[in-house]
Amino acid sequence: MTNPSTADIVARAQDLYEDLQFTAARDWKKAEPGRKVIGYMPVYIPRELIHAAGMLPLGIMGGGDNLEVIHGDAYYQSYICRIPRSTIELGVSGRLDFVDGMLFPSICDVIRNLSGMWKMLFPDTYSKYFDVPQTYDDEIGGTFYVGEMREFREDLEKIAGRSITDDQINASIKVYNENRRLVSELYELRAAVPWQAPASEAYLVIRAGLVLPVEEHSVMLRQYIDAAKAEKRPVKDNCKVVVTGMFCEQPPLNLIKSLELSGCYVVDDDFMLVSRWLIGDVTTTGDPLYNLSQAFLHHSMSTAAKYEPDLAEKGQFLVRAVKSSGAEGVIFASTSFCDPALLDRPMLQNVLKAADIPFIAFKYAENSGQMQPIREQAGTFVDSIKLWSAA
């Protein structure tokens, strides 16, 4: 069988991205009686536990720019970001009526409070605020986190009507390790030859993993990487940049395309961090909850939603991302009214100044439609980097 082309794969991924009825997940559920789907919001949840329960983890990243928010705005003041209102819209409009549970990870006060709103609005559906430790000692944060995961596992067992064994979780960790390796491979490919795997395509292919079963998504990733390597694509005189601040409310696809059109190769980002939150393989033998906690505490990504205990380490993840991807600058793209990203930004900018890394900043919403200002700003940024480099 011939490998599909990048265009075929991206077209499939874009269909999934645009489908706000989540047909793929609905079909998966319908295929066998008793199947369950558990939705989750950004930034991170241990999907392995849901998978081990025989359920489908379904990433809900808001409604994007294709969803008309009719009811959701009635729940929020104008100064609150868009992702909670579009998520409520998805819920009250029945688009999530097949979902058996919703998880609200610890990221900010808006998503935290949305967990309580969900309990009020959908009292018959399981919902959980998924708390994680912000302290990283094994005996303190680790023990707490194992306790939280144990409680979540028990909840899933009740929903599934069966127990979830350690062996089953270890088997799921193995499947997700494979998926994380492929996501990393795609990021490495994009950093090395960004014209072969543009950010707008990589975004769609990785995002497909939020709605597909992980095994199917891993096949898609493998096929895309192989096809992207094989195809000849023109090299542009673009500037390599890292984009940061987009870890929760996702940018419209047009925003990523606009950055590319303005002369940027996005070689690293913080889109959909759940796909690569844990860095490297998680151990697949022994106590799986302990192993997942170890990975979370000691081998996980950094983002503004996390506390950094070490002042010297503050922002260094961004400097490392620039260096390892060969980027020449950083674009801070934050959602309007995003407390974590906007409060963190001045500190990260100070770190970049100290490291002599140029940056710009702008804000967006998931339904931003006017891209011309962003394109002009990014284009000017790229030009200035080129001028500096030439000097």
Partner 1 sequence: MRPSIVKAQPADVEKDASMIKQKQMMAKHYDRLTNAPQTGEKVASTFVPGNLNELIMCFDLVNNLPEVNAIQSGLRKQSGAYVMEAERAGHSEDVCTYVKSDIGMMMKGNISPNGKKLPDPDVLLLSYTGCFTFLKWFELLREQYKCPTIFLQTPYMADGKVTPNMVQYMVKQLKENVIPVLEEVSGVKFDIDRLRENLRKSAVAEDDLVHVLQSGKNKPSPIDAYFGGIYYIGPIFGAFRGTDDAIDYYRFLREEVDDRILKGLGPVTPDGPMAEEKYRLVVEGPPNYTSFRQFWKMFYDEGATVVASSYTKVGGTYDYGFRHDPDRPLETLAEYCLGVYTNRNLPMRIDMLCDYINEYEADGLLINSIKSCNSFSAGQLLIMREVEKRTGKPAAFIETDLVDPRYFSAANVKNRLESYFQMVEQKRSGAGAAA
User: Alpha-carbon distance 233 to 284, whole Å?
Assistant: 39
- Supply 67's token pair: 């969803």
DSSP letter for 105, please. Answer: E
Beta bridge partners of 126: 101
Residue of 239, 240, 244 whose CA lies nearest to 317:
244
Task: Check residue 338 for interaction with partner 1 (CB under 8 A).
Answer: yes
One-letter identity of residue 42: P
CB nearer to partner 1: give 56 or 352: 352
Task: Check residue 301 for interaction with partner 1 (CB under 8 A).
Answer: no
* Helix or strand run (H / E) with residue 266: strand 264-268
Residues numbered 79-98 forming contacts with partner 1, rule: CB under 8 A: 79-80, 84
- Supply 8's token pair: 């075929």
Task: Check residue 232 for interaction with partner 1 (CB under 8 A).
Answer: no
Task: Check residue 158 for interaction with partner 1 (CB under 8 A).
Answer: no
* Helix or strand run (H / E) with residue 330: strand 329-335
- Supply 265's token pair: 């190769």
Min separation Cβ 288 and partner 1, Å: 18
Min separation Cβ 138 and partner 1, Å: 11
Q: Which of these ranges, 11-19, 25-33, 229-237, 337-345, lies near partner 1 under the rule CB under 8 A?
A: 337-345
Distances (CA, A) of 198 to 36, 38, 131, 256, 350: 34, 31, 34, 10, 29
Task: Report phi then psi at 385, rounded to 5.
Answer: -60, -45
Min separation Cβ 135 and partner 1, Å: 6
Select from 23, 66, 163, 350 the one that contacts partner 1 (CB under 8 A): 350
Q: Which of these ranges, 168-176, 216-224, 334-342, 373-381, lies near partner 1 under the rule CB under 8 A?
A: 334-342
One-letter identity of residue 157: E
Which bin fits 381, alpha (ψ -120 to 50), beta or left (φ > 0)? alpha
CB nearer to partner 1: give 137 or 376: 137
- Supply 140's token pair: 């303190």
Select from 226, 347, 362, 367 the one that contacts partner 1 (CB under 8 A): 347
Select from 125, 283, 336, 384 the one that contacts partner 1 (CB under 8 A): 336
Give the contacts of 205 (CB within 8 A, at least 6 positions apart).
9, 10, 13, 186, 220, 221, 224
CB nearer to partner 1: give 136 or 187: 136
User: Alpha-carbon distance 12 to 336, whole Å?
Assistant: 30
Task: Check residue 302 for interaction with partner 1 (CB under 8 A).
Answer: no
User: Alpha-carbon distance 93 to 257, whole Å?
Assistant: 29
| Size of the residue set binding partner 1 (CB under 8 A) | 57
Q: Which of these ranges, 11-19, 49-57, 231-239, 338-346, lies near partner 1 under the rule CB under 8 A?
A: 338-346
Residues numbered 105-144 forming contacts with partner 1, rule: CB under 8 A: 106, 108-110, 112-117, 119-121, 128-129, 131, 133-135, 137, 139-141, 143-144
* Helix or strand run (H / E) with residue 242: strand 239-244
CB nearer to partner 1: give 314 or 386: 314
Window 34-73: contact mask with partner 1 (x via CB under 8 A):
----------------------------------------
DSSP letter for 141, please. Answer: I
Task: Check residue 345 for interaction with partner 1 (CB under 8 A).
Answer: yes
CB nearer to partner 1: give 195 or 290: 290
Q: Which of these ranges, 63-71, 218-226, 282-290, 342-350, lies near partner 1 under the rule CB under 8 A?
A: 342-350
CB nearer to partner 1: give 106 or 325: 106
3-state class of 87 per DSSP? helix
Q: Which of these ranges, 20-28, 158-166, 198-206, 299-307, lies near partner 1 under the rule CB under 8 A?
A: 299-307
User: Alpha-carbon distance 120 to 280, whole Å?
Assistant: 39
Task: Report phi then psi at 96, rounded to 5.
Answer: -110, 20
Task: Report phi then psi at 130, rounded to 5.
Answer: -95, 100
Rule CB under 8 A: which residues touch partner 1?
Answer: 74-77, 79-80, 84, 106, 108-110, 112-117, 119-121, 128-129, 131, 133-135, 137, 139-141, 143-144, 147-148, 151, 304-305, 307-309, 311, 314, 334, 336-340, 342-347, 349-350, 363
